[in-house]
Structure 1
Amino acid sequence: MIAALFPMKKLRRNSKFLLFGTILLLGVMVVFHEMDLTEELGLNPYIDDNGWWRAMVDKVFSEDHQTDPVKVSNAWRSNYTPPTWKPEFKGRANLHAFEDWCGTSTAALRKNGHFPLYPHTRTTVKKLAVNPKWSNYGLRIFGYLHPHTDGEFSIAVSSEDNSEFWLSTDDSPLNVKLLAWVGKTGTEWAVPGEFDKYASQTSGPIKLSSQRRYFFEVLYVQDDKGTGHVEVAWKLLNQDFGFTIIDSKHISLYASESGLLPSDVSTIPQTAASHHHIPSKQPGATADMLREEPRDTFYRVPLVSSNFLKGVLADCSYKPSYTLKGVRVPRYQGIHMVRLSYIYPNDYTRLTHMESDETCIYQEHPSDMKTNGFSKYIIPDGPEEKSTTDFAKPLQDEEEASDLTGTKSVPNDEKDHVVRRKKSVSDDKEDFPVRKKKSLLDDAEYFPVRRRKSVLDDKEDFPVRRKKSMLDDKEYFPVRRRKSVLDDKEVFPVRKRKSVFDDKKDFGFQRRRSVFDDNEDFGFRRRRSVRNDEEEFDAEADQKEVWPGLRNNPLFPDTYSRKHLREKEIEKNMPLQLDLKMSTPTAKVSYQDLQALQSDQVNFGCNLVGNVQLSSSEALPLVKAFMDKLEAKHPGLFRLGRVINVVKRVDEVRGSRYLLELEVIDSSGKLLRLSQYIYNLNRSGRRRRRDTTVKELKPPPLLCNPMGFQWNPAATVHIIVPVKNQARWVQQLITEMERLFKETQDTNFNLIITDYSSSDMDVKKALEKSSLYRYDYLKLSGNFERSAGLQAGVDLVKEKHSIVFLCDLHLHFPSNIIDAIRTHCVEGYMAFAPVVMRLDCGAAPYDARGFWEVQGFGLLGIYKSDLEAVGGMNTKEFKDTWGGEDWELLDRILEGGLDVERIYLRNFYHNFHSKRGMWVT
């Protein structure tokens, strides 16, 4: 019966027709579904002008930009109040400017923590064509569109750099849809009025009615190069008219914002294009520090009761040899006396993702890096070892020859190599650096000036950025060389330079082929021959590189003859030892434990390094010794789960201090947190064996409990921030504190804001509206003074045995910040100065691009009793000028005999900002 219903043989014979019919049926169903959906939305998906490619790009781009409404829509749908539209709104559109933000893509604008609620500027425009004279900014233009007639329109956008045009199906901001855009990667741009450069710039037919108004918004970003502009135009289809700019007759405001404070954001529309949604760590992030770490959430694990830890170790006095009580510290020299603590296991605070710009961690001299790279870390096997030695001498000979011929060298300036950014990231034009990737061989600073002039010299705005390679620098190549067929030839005199593009394709390609062909077979020795060849030619002619690896020479228009000469030269100059059957060379490589070479001294010349790593061979035996002591005290009660964190502070004279943070499991199987400071005393009285032939066994660590040196898990932490007229940053700080309380449910931390009578927001009202469990507000008058503002906040704290954290306004805090402050502050003994990561312009916490602020000590946790003992803030000397108050306070803390814990704190960021509006009267 089944065979009668499904004749398999007939189906197999007609399988092609069956497959075709199925595909055709599916196609008809898809088209019908799209037409039905379009009718509901009022938008026509058929794109006559741009075809299937535009539709496919539209789908891909929309997937990148349209977020899941289930996940994020609730975060912004109810967070604004739609204003009542009035006829007097016609003739203008709202414009919000987000200044001091780097990037060329709209995705970069969305990473701005102030977007879209807290723009720097709120104003209006009379038409959808703007040409700001700023640099590094983003714009959001929004309002209503009023069509002048019924019909089908096409809307287009043009800009430099990227931009987007969104249009709603009605007057609601919730129904916007992306219609046209210029790029999404940040590399796309168009000149003013150019609407047909990219297929995505022009929308398909859109049916609009003159009886309705439609909400629209434009997003636009601009870096510090080029001519900033963005314009939106439209045209009525089926007519001969071209695109015309949408002017004042056809736009109106979304809301009137005159007289509003920066903190008044209730009427700012949040849409699918622009809503306040900051994602957490991205799964594909390149920064190792963004990986999930047990340290980050260990504060949530319940602590082992201190009663179980009493008597586990014998008590001993804690008197480190490095404290400076009674010793006068010269002014601002305390920063050189603070030492780093060692960390186990690796916390990935080394900024490996930023080392494309700097390699200072390898401690190589810049000139050695440019000449030899990392060749000293590898030793070739067999005959290759000899060839490496042969090359050392010509390079040395060339240096000597340069000196003899009077070649002038540029002095080495190591400071420029190792310090990636000494100047504050917020200083004027320096706030917006244009970072370019540099090869290790790019910088001619360490090489003789005797170089060819590039065709790009004196062409500041030339659009082609050229990459330099080892083959471009004749300084690298030996002076003693074989005679070339071109030597002593006057056949090609230099009469006149031709255009940089003359014959570039033919000549440049031949040169590229001759340099790189068969590199795998010939190896480094053949390239040496080619380089000698090139240098002899360069002595006669001035080559020009117009693209990476592509050169144009005005002296040789004849490609064929040039090819013939090049092949003869290579053949003539080929080394005698060339072996075409040479196997792939091998080498000896040793394990490089670069972290073991680091010291606890702060490296002010390298701001990428991160915490100094403690070896497992030292940390794990110490943990085992402590757990053995715990087992002896409480048999069978606790067992080790895993080692979460070990922090070591070195004292070579008396013994090192350790913080052990261990995950232990009690007898009932419950996970607990053990967090205890211990002391490992030096065995100074132990005598060495005289018989050196017998290997001496390493003695077990001599552990003890440092009396009085334990952290208080119940201590209240007061975060103190002075402010004045920084509304958007104050609101962001309050939001950060709300997040911390929500994540930790810690009721023992308090936010204190001392406000110098801010006029741009009601700070007290914002605190009252927040969900913070504890806060204090103090209104001050006069000019902004950081020292006085901090001291005023300290004076509000009544409990001397609590911790004050002297803080900055522009921070992003890790969720364990309160616990970290408690853990590393010990009353009477130690303050805590974490190293914060300063984000680059345009960077967000979830991509962590920036550098460690190794010189700053303005973020300081200390018990109030200790701060009072050293004299508090210096309010007389440091008033309304920036800088120095943190170093001066550090000097006095060290003079008071306190230790200062200095570690690089994961996920602790200083947001990029300029100094605009700061320290104002």
Structure 2
Amino acid sequence: MACSSSFAGVQGRVNMHVFDDCCGGSLDQLRNNLLYPLFPNVRTTVSRLAISPQWSNYGLRIFGYLHPTETDEYIFAVSSDDNSEFWLSVNESPENLQRLVYVGETGNEWTAPGEYWKFASQISKPVLLVKDMKYFFEILLKQNRGMDHLEIAWSLNHDNATFSVIASEFLSLYEDESFLQMGDIDHVPQTKASYDRLLEPMSPAGDMIREDPRDHPYKYKILDGSLLKDLFPECNYNPSYILNGQIGRYEGVNLIQFSSVYPNDYTRQSIAIDDEMCFYRQHPSFQADKGLASYLTEVEDPDAKKIDTGEGPFWQRVYDVKPLNVASKQTAIVVNSCKTSGNIVMSQSHAMPIVRAFLKALHSREETSGYSLLHVVNVVRREDKDVGSRYLVELELVGPQGQKVLVSRYVYAQDENSRKPTVLCSPKAFNWNPSATVHIIVAVKDQARWIIQFIREMEKVYRATGDKNFNIIIIDYNSSDIDIEKRLKKAKLPSYKFKKMDGNFRRSGGLQAGIDLVEDEHSILFLCDLHLYYPVNIINSIRKHCVEGKMVYAPVVMRLDCGASPRAPAGFWEVAGYGLMGIYKSDMERIGGMNTREFTDQWGGEDWELLDRVLGNGLEVERLHLRNFFHHFHSKRGMWKNSNEG
């Protein structure tokens, strides 16, 4: 452009936020990233609206003020690889943004540098701008792979005017971030183009995140426990798979059994195309040489024309097929060998006799005879071959006055293979405490973005459930990028504890420091990591799968692929990881706590070593894939700032 001048107080730069480890080419993939828009990897500035960082798998958000130096109509243009958008406000307020131009929406569109005429969406209609006014603008770029670039240009709406990249003399910062910590986020603008989606309900993008009665047990009123007292005769509970004594180093992972569930909770990762065949290969009907074609049986069509060749296509060929429910046939072998398989699904024919036996016991007593079944919420089975099985039975019932209640109780069934009617008993000293306090413990260092996100996740849980019986414990190895305690004081949480530690980051040492802050030995510890997305029923899930003196809980988390998000999950289940564990404080003390002597500055293997001691001390481990429980994809660049980064 021909016009230029100077103006007071303008730096000639604009803010740029970089979101790394973000795959795909569409802006939807950027917006669905849990860290967007408040928690970029990098906060910096640029002096010109034409960039080429020569990087891959990232997203950019550029924002600031535009200063026209003459009153006239302007036309804007954009080019980029991959998708991009340019938004402009009608004034200096971020609240009045309008999208003017863009390149693509699916992630497959791109242009060459300076190629403003490839798509009709790249060039705007004329926009009237006024001299000496400033206009807030925002630019988004999503880069996958290939030559990355972005250009925003403008021209006056005159004949023969040419586009020129918007240069520094027309730009100014929205906010000087040079003196702010990464943990300071209150200044970050949230706009129509870029807003925090944490509070927005997730629209289902797959069966796994569709609403399920298991997801909101906190909405149910639990049936008064006194009504269930002595409902079943008590029986000894001594599973054959319980160990007592020393086991070999890291042998515990090979001794774990998986429980099965009913009804289907759709934790199977059915959109992982590359890995999906492993699910079918485990089934006895699968023929490797024929693949899925082996399930089809050709049926003769008497009216079809006879074809001599064996070469296709065969338009008139027809088939028969038998119903195939592979989910109800999978075994623990499948879970260990196929990381997309999800929970083992119990068949209806197996689960319903347990439910009917439970209801029969309810109806046999005057106090509960008026309650009828409304919905089978959840049945979890831990099988002990040739002995019997333990069940967690969760039923939604409706009472005589129409009141809805939830019953959630462990029962045991013996002699399941006999033809006799199912008889249930109450396993001795095997009950879960619905009011036990849960302490969620995490150790951190210099991870401001993820620390804030962790706190926000806990706020989300508290906001949804109103559960006051959980506590957050953060052990901080002297983080320099955030004042964690200040952030905790502002957070809407039922309670928290915070402790500072010196020296290099130590996961085992940090977790043990958190454990030591817990005074009540009859409360539950949940040892966890930072980079997690939690289901809102996490506290209830931990409580009901931890039994003091008997059982600990090690939920399986899904590791999201690069570019995937909780709104559109894709990845694999981390069946070999045991770093996420719920255990009563009394049990943790009994097994000796974290191994801080052996695992000092390094980490990796401390979870398997802890599992060895859990099993060696006669504790059972409940292992289930937990719906809507995700580990976010992230690189390890800059993590913890010690020799373990990579």
User: CA–CA distance in 1 between the matches of 2:165 and 2:229?
Assistant: 79
Deviation at 1:288, TM superposition (A): 1.1
Deviation at 1:370, TM superposition (A): 7.5
User: CA–CA distance in 2 between the matches of 1:683 and 1:260?
Assistant: 64
The one of 449, 452, 469 equivalent to 1:731 is 452
User: CA–CA distance in 1 between the matches of 2:482 and 2:335?
Assistant: 41
The one of 463, 467, 475 equivalent to 1:754 is 475
Q: Does 1:124 align with 2:49?
A: no
Give 1:610's aligned residue: 342
Give 1:333's aligned residue: 251
After superposition, the Cα gap between the structure-2 partners of 1:144 and 1:682, relative to the gap in structure 1 and judged at 3 Å, is same
User: CA–CA distance in 2 between the matches of 1:242 and 1:281?
Assistant: 45
Q: Does 1:682 align with 2:600?
A: no
Give 1:372's aligned residue: 290
Secondary structure in 2 aligned to 1:235? Answer: strand
Letter of the 2:248 partner, please give it.
Answer: P
Render the CA deviation track for 1:96-139: whole Å, top value 9, x for unaligned: 11111112112221112222222111111111111102211111
User: CA–CA distance in 2 between the matches of 1:138 and 1:894?
Assistant: 45
Please tell me whether the aligned partners of residues 163 and 221 of structure 1 are also in contact (alpha carbons under 8 angstroms): yes
Secondary structure in 1 aligned to 2:613? Answer: helix
Q: Does 1:906 align with 2:638?
A: no
Deviation at 1:630, TM superposition (A): 2.1
Give 2:167's aligned residue: 247
Q: Does 1:650 align with 2:383?
A: yes
Letter of the 2:8 partner, please give it.
Answer: P
User: Which runs of structure 2 are paired with 1:317-356 in the superposition (5 Å)?
Assistant: 317-326=236-245, 328-355=246-273
The one of 212, 221, 225 equivalent to 2:133 is 212
Give 1:620's aligned residue: 352
User: CA–CA distance in 1 between the matches of 2:361 and 2:523?
Assistant: 32
User: CA–CA distance in 2 between the matches of 1:889 and 1:764?
Assistant: 29
User: Which runs of structure 2 are paired with 1:551-566 in the superposition (5 Å)?
Assistant: none
Give 2:583's aligned residue: 862
User: CA–CA distance in 2 between the matches of 1:267 and 1:282?
Assistant: 26
After superposition, the Cα gap between the structure-2 partners of 1:603 and 1:357, relative to the gap in structure 1 and judged at 3 Å, is closer
Give 2:214's aligned residue: 295
Q: Does 1:153 align with 2:74?
A: yes
Q: Does 1:527 align with 2:311?
A: yes
Q: Does 1:169 align with 2:87?
A: no
Letter of the 2:36 partner, please give it.
Answer: F
User: CA–CA distance in 1 between the matches of 2:294 and 2:516?
Assistant: 58
The one of 263, 283, 302 equivalent to 2:183 is 263
User: CA–CA distance in 2 between the matches of 1:918 and 1:90?
Assistant: 33
Percentage identity across aligned positions?
49
Give 1:593's aligned residue: 325
After superposition, the Cα gap between the structure-2 partners of 1:608 and 1:920, relative to the gap in structure 1 and judged at 3 Å, is same
Render the CA deviation track for 1:319-374: whole Å, top value 9, x for unaligned: 11110112x22111211111111111111111112246531101169xx9785222
After superposition, the Cα gap between the structure-2 partners of 1:364 and 1:654, relative to the gap in structure 1 and judged at 3 Å, is closer
The one of 753, 760, 784 equivalent to 2:505 is 784
Letter of the 2:26 partner, please give it.
Answer: S
Q: Does 1:663 align with 2:581?
A: no
User: CA–CA distance in 2 between the matches of 1:97 and 1:153?
Assistant: 28
User: CA–CA distance in 1 between the matches of 2:194 and 2:324?
Assistant: 48
The one of 109, 113, 119 equivalent to 1:192 is 113
Deviation at 1:741, TM superposition (A): 0.6
User: CA–CA distance in 2 between the matches of 1:147 and 1:372?
Assistant: 67
Please tell me whether the aligned partners of residues 339 and 602 of structure 1 are also in contact (alpha carbons under 8 angstroms): no
Secondary structure in 2 aligned to 1:155? Answer: strand
After superposition, the Cα gap between the structure-2 partners of 1:607 and 1:209, relative to the gap in structure 1 and judged at 3 Å, is same
User: CA–CA distance in 2 between the matches of 1:602 and 1:833?
Assistant: 19
Give 2:227's aligned residue: 308
Letter of the 2:11 partner, please give it.
Answer: K
Render the CA deviation track for 1:77-109: whole Å, top value 9, x for unaligned: xxxxxxxxx933332111111111112112221
User: CA–CA distance in 1 between the matches of 2:203 and 2:134?
Assistant: 41
Deviation at 1:859, TM superposition (A): 0.6
After superposition, the Cα gap between the structure-2 partners of 1:370 and 1:525, relative to the gap in structure 1 and judged at 3 Å, is farther
**Structure with a larger share of its residues in helix:** 1
Render the CA deviation track for 1:289-336: whole Å, top value 9, x for unaligned: 12211111123212122221122211111111110112x221112111
Render the CA deviation track for 1:418-440: whole Å, top value 9, x for unaligned: xxxxxxxxxxxxxxxxxxxxxxx
Please tell me whether the aligned partners of residues 204 and 210 of structure 2 are also in contact (alpha carbons under 8 angstroms): no
Secondary structure in 2 aligned to 1:766? Answer: helix
Please tell me whether the aligned partners of residues 170 and 213 of structure 1 are also in contact (alpha carbons under 8 angstroms): yes
Secondary structure in 2 aligned to 1:249? Answer: helix
Give 2:461's aligned residue: 740
Gaps of 5+ in 1: 1-85, 385-519, 531-581, 685-696
User: CA–CA distance in 2 between the matches of 1:646 and 1:175?
Assistant: 51
After superposition, the Cα gap between the structure-2 partners of 1:522 and 1:168, relative to the gap in structure 1 and judged at 3 Å, is farther
Render the CA deviation track for 1:137-162: whole Å, top value 9, x for unaligned: 11111111122322211111111111
Letter of the 1:681 partner, please give it.
Answer: Q
Please tell me whether the aligned partners of residues 334 and 341 of structure 2 are also in contact (alpha carbons under 8 angstroms): no
Deviation at 1:907, TM superposition (A): 0.9
Secondary structure in 1 aligned to 2:502? Answer: coil
Residues 698-707 or 893-902, more deviating: 698-707
Secondary structure in 2 aligned to 1:87? Answer: coil
Gaps of 5+ in 2: 1-6
Deviation at 1:622, TM superposition (A): 1.6
Deviation at 1:193, TM superposition (A): 1.2
User: CA–CA distance in 2 between the matches of 1:829 and 1:118?
Assistant: 41
User: CA–CA distance in 1 between the matches of 2:166 and 2:318?
Assistant: 67
Letter of the 2:131 partner, please give it.
Answer: S
Q: Does 1:842 align with 2:563?
A: yes
The one of 351, 361, 371 equivalent to 1:638 is 371
Deviation at 1:762, TM superposition (A): 0.2
Secondary structure in 1 aligned to 2:594? Answer: coil
User: CA–CA distance in 1 between the matches of 2:202 and 2:465?
Assistant: 22
Please tell me whether the aligned partners of residues 340 and 601 of structure 1 are also in contact (alpha carbons under 8 angstroms): no
Q: TM-score, normalised by structure 1?
A: 0.66
After superposition, the Cα gap between the structure-2 partners of 1:683 and 1:771, relative to the gap in structure 1 and judged at 3 Å, is closer
User: CA–CA distance in 2 between the matches of 1:205 and 1:668?
Assistant: 66
After superposition, the Cα gap between the structure-2 partners of 1:524 and 1:739, relative to the gap in structure 1 and judged at 3 Å, is farther
User: CA–CA distance in 1 between the matches of 2:326 and 2:588?
Assistant: 38
Q: Does 1:89 align with 2:10?
A: yes
Please tell me whether the aligned partners of residues 446 and 640 of structure 2 are also in contact (alpha carbons under 8 angstroms): no
Letter of the 1:676 partner, please give it.
Answer: R
Aligned-residue Cα RMSD (Å) equals 2.2
Give 1:704's aligned residue: 425
Residues 799-808 or 370-379, more deviating: 370-379
User: CA–CA distance in 2 between the matches of 1:737 and 1:916?
Assistant: 26
Render the CA deviation track for 1:848-879: whole Å, top value 9, x for unaligned: 12211111111100111111111111111112
- Number of equivalences: 632
User: CA–CA distance in 1 between the matches of 2:357 and 2:156?
Assistant: 82
Letter of the 2:326 partner, please give it.
Answer: L
The one of 515, 523, 543 equivalent to 1:802 is 523
Please tell me whether the aligned partners of residues 275 and 340 of structure 2 are also in contact (alpha carbons under 8 angstroms): no
After superposition, the Cα gap between the structure-2 partners of 1:824 and 1:241, relative to the gap in structure 1 and judged at 3 Å, is same
Please tell me whether the aligned partners of residues 282 and 330 of structure 2 are also in contact (alpha carbons under 8 angstroms): no
Secondary structure in 2 aligned to 1:157? Answer: strand
After superposition, the Cα gap between the structure-2 partners of 1:766 and 1:369, relative to the gap in structure 1 and judged at 3 Å, is farther
User: CA–CA distance in 2 between the matches of 1:349 and 1:914?
Assistant: 25
Please tell me whether the aligned partners of residues 114 and 728 of structure 1 are also in contact (alpha carbons under 8 angstroms): yes
Render the CA deviation track for 1:817-839: whole Å, top value 9, x for unaligned: 11111000001110001111111
Letter of the 1:158 partner, please give it.
Answer: S
The one of 546, 553, 572 equivalent to 1:832 is 553
Secondary structure in 2 aligned to 1:276? Answer: coil
Secondary structure in 2 aligned to 1:886? Answer: helix
Secondary structure in 2 aligned to 1:740? Answer: helix
User: CA–CA distance in 2 between the matches of 1:220 and 1:857?
Assistant: 37
